[in-house]
Amino acid sequence: MWAFRSAATILSLAGLLFGCSAPSADPTASVYSGGDILTMAGHQPVYVEALAVRDGKIVAAGSKAQALKAAGRGARQIDLKGATLLPGFIDAHSHMLNYADSLVQANLNPPPVGGVRSIADIISEVGRLKVSMKAGDGVLLVGQGYDPDQLAEKRHPTAEELDMAFPNNPVLLMHASGHMLVANTAAMKIAGIDASTKDPEGGAIIRKPGTTEPQGLFQETAMHPFIPQVQAPRPLDENLVLIKRALGHYAANGYTTAAEHLVMPDKMPLLQAAADRGILTIDVEALPAYLMADQLVGTGKIRWGELKNGLKWAGLKLATDGSPQGKTAYLTKPYLTPVPGCKTDCRGFPNIPQDELNRLFVLAYRNGVQLYSHCNGDASIDMMIAAHRFAEKDLGIVDFNRRTVIIHSQIMRPDQLVAYKSLGLLPSFFTNHVFYWGDVHLANLGAERAAYISPMASAMKAGIKATNHTDATVTPVDPMFLAWTAVNRTTRSGQVLGPDERVTPYQALKAMTLNAAYEYFEETSKGSLETGKTADLVLLDHNPLKVAPDAIKTIRVVETVKSGRSVFKAP
Ligand SMILES: [Zn+2]
Ligand SMILES: [Zn+2]
C-alpha cells in the first residue's frame, strides 16, 4: 500500500515538475483539434479548441494543452482539417429492424427517396424484387413506402391489380406511414380473411363498393393478421447480417444511438442475440410492443433501462392512433377531405380504448417503466394526457421525471403544449412530415392545424426538451435532412408551412443530441461533448450553424465514432 502510494506520488510530482502527462494505456486515445468543436452543452453554441478521448470516454473538452494532457502521452493527434465535430446523433424514434427488413423489400417510395410515381411503377418494383429474390410461386413479396398522394392515380392500389400481376405470390404493400397495407388475394387467404371478416376494434377493412369483399386496403389493427407473414422467420444468421448492415447505415449517417421502437414478440430474442454476439456497433434503444405489457412489466423478465452490449430495453411502446396523411390519426375536428371507408364526422379513431390506456399507464408507472406512445392527432393526445393524470391520481404520486414520450405529437393544440410542460410529458416531433406531407396536411386539415404540425419552436420556447425523429423507414435515416426540415419547414411544393415553428439550427441539433439523450435518461452520459461522457462523436464536412439554412441538408458525415472507436469513415 505504502509503496504504491509512494510511486503514485513520485509520478504525479514528475508530472508537475516536467509538465508531461502519464502515458496512455489506450491505443485509441485521441486529441481532436483543427476544426469547429461544438459541444452542444448550454443554451447557446459553445466551441472548444480541442477534445480528448481516452478509454472510450471524453476526458477533456477545452484548450489543446488541457486535451493533450488528459489524453496521455502517445495519444493520436487528429487534425479535423476544418471538419465540424459534434456529439454523435441520437435517434429519438425510428424502426431499425424495419430498416433491416427493407433491405430485402421493394422500395415503393416516391422521389426523392425512391422512384415510384404510379401503380404501374409499384407493380414493376415488386416484379424486380421477385426476380432478384428468384422467388417461385407462393413466396411472399413485400414492398414498403408507397404513398397514394404521390401516385398519379391518387389512390391506393387494389388487390385486383396485384392479383393480375402476381397471381401465385402473396403480396403485401406497406403504406409510407406503416399504419396500413394493401394485400392481394393470396396474402388474404393465408391471413384467413374474406368477405365475412368483420372490422376489428381499432381498425378498418376497406371493401369493394356495394359489397363486403375486401378491396385490398387494411388499416391499423386490421393489419395484425398479416404480421406473421411480414415477419416470417428468417435464419438467425441472415437476420444478424441485416441488422449489421442496418446499423452500418445509421452510423454512416452520424447516429451513435439508433432506435427500434416497436419490438414484436419474435424480435426480442433476435435483438438480444445481436447484443450478445457483439453485432450492435452502435447503441440500440428498444421498445417492446404493448401487446406484451402484462408479460414484461413487473414480471422481472427483462431489465428495463439498462444499457448492456449496446442494447437497452428503454420502455414500453404504445400506439394510440394512426397517421395524419392516412387520415387515421384521431382528431377532435373532422378531416376536410374524403376519408376512405367513412361517411360522416370523419375524425380518425383511437387504437386503444381510454380504459385500457389508463390501465397500461398505471401498470407502467407503478413499475417504473418509461412509456412511449405513437400519437398523432389532438384527440389521441387528449387521451394520453388523461391517462397520465389518471395514473398519477390512482398511484397518488406526482412525478415530473417519468419522461413519458408522446411520439410525433403532430396535430397538437397550444393548450396541449401547456399540459406537456406542467405534467413533464415529452414530445418527439416529426418535422420531416412538413416536407413529405405538408401540402397534403394543408388540404386535409386546413391552414391553421397544418401550420401547427410538430410545433417545435413553441415547445422549445416553453422550455420543453423536445426531440425530433425520422421515424425510419417512414422517412430516410438522414439527420441533416431532418435538421433541414426543422429549420426551414418547406413543403414538397416549396411553401413554408408554419413559419413561426421554424427553429434555429442550434435548436435543431439539440433535438437530435442532448434532448434525445434526455428522452432516454442518458443526459449524463451522452448528447454533448463534456468530460466524463461517452466518446460518441460525429464529424461533419460543414458546420450546420454556419451554412445557409437551405444548405443544411447537403452536409455530409465524414466520420462517426462510437465509444472512442471509428464505426464509419467516408470513403
Ligand atoms: Zn408512429
Ligand atoms: Zn414510428
pLDDT digits (tens, 9 = 90+) for 314-373: 999 999 999 998 899 999 999 999 998 888 999 999 999 999 999 999 999 999 999 999
Which ligand neighbours the alpha carbon of 92 most closely? 2
Single-letter amino acid code for the residue at 221:
T
pLDDT at 357: 98
Per this entry, what is the length of the chain?
Answer: 571
Domain with CATH 3.20.20.140 in the chain: 315-503
Which ligand neighbours the alpha carbon of 259 most closely? 2
pLDDT at 33: 98
Give the H/E segment covering residue 409. Answer: none
Between the CA of 68 and the centroid of ligand 1 the distance, in Å, is 45
User: Rounded to whole angstroms, what are the CA distances from 269 to 239, 302, 323, 527, 536?
Assistant: 11, 11, 29, 29, 27
Between the CA of 229 and the centroid of ligand 1 the distance, in Å, is 21
d(CA 53, CA 531): 9
Between the CA of 283 and the centroid of ligand 1 the distance, in Å, is 21
Radius of gyration (C-alpha) of the chain in whole angstroms: 25
Q: Which CATH superfamily is domain 315-503 in?
A: Metal-dependent hydrolases (3.20.20.140)
Which ligand neighbours the alpha carbon of 321 most closely? 1
Between the CA of 177 and the centroid of ligand 2 the distance, in Å, is 8
Which ligand neighbours the alpha carbon of 320 most closely? 1
d(CA 184, CA 171): 6
Between the CA of 374 and the centroid of ligand 1 the distance, in Å, is 4
Which ligand neighbours the alpha carbon of 262 most closely? 2
Between the CA of 477 and the centroid of ligand 1 the distance, in Å, is 15
Regions of the chain where pLDDT drops below 70: 1-25, 232
Between the CA of 399 and the centroid of ligand 1 the distance, in Å, is 25
**In 463-513, alpha helices (H):** 479-488, 505-510
d(CA 519, CA 90): 10
Between the CA of 471 and the centroid of ligand 1 the distance, in Å, is 7
Between the CA of 375 and the centroid of ligand 1 the distance, in Å, is 7
Between the CA of 189 and the centroid of ligand 2 the distance, in Å, is 28
pLDDT at 2: 36
d(CA 181, CA 204): 11
pLDDT at 266: 87
Q: What letter does residue 334 receive in the DSSP assignment?
A: -
How many Cα atoms occupy the beta-carbon half-sphere of 415 within 13 Å?
4
280 close to 309: Cβ distance less than 8 angstroms: yes
194 close to 188: Cβ distance less than 8 angstroms: yes
pLDDT at 157: 97
d(CA 365, CA 354): 16
Centroid of chain to Cα 381? 19
pLDDT at 465: 98
Pairing of strands 255-263, 89-90: parallel
φ and ψ of 422, to 5 deg: -75, -25
d(CA 138, CA 117): 27
d(CA 246, CA 472): 11
Residue range 99-230 forms a domain whose CATH class is alpha beta
Residue range 23-82+527-571 forms a domain whose CATH class is mainly beta
Between the CA of 164 and the centroid of ligand 2 the distance, in Å, is 32
pLDDT, tens only, 59-84: 999 999 999 999 999 999 999 999 99
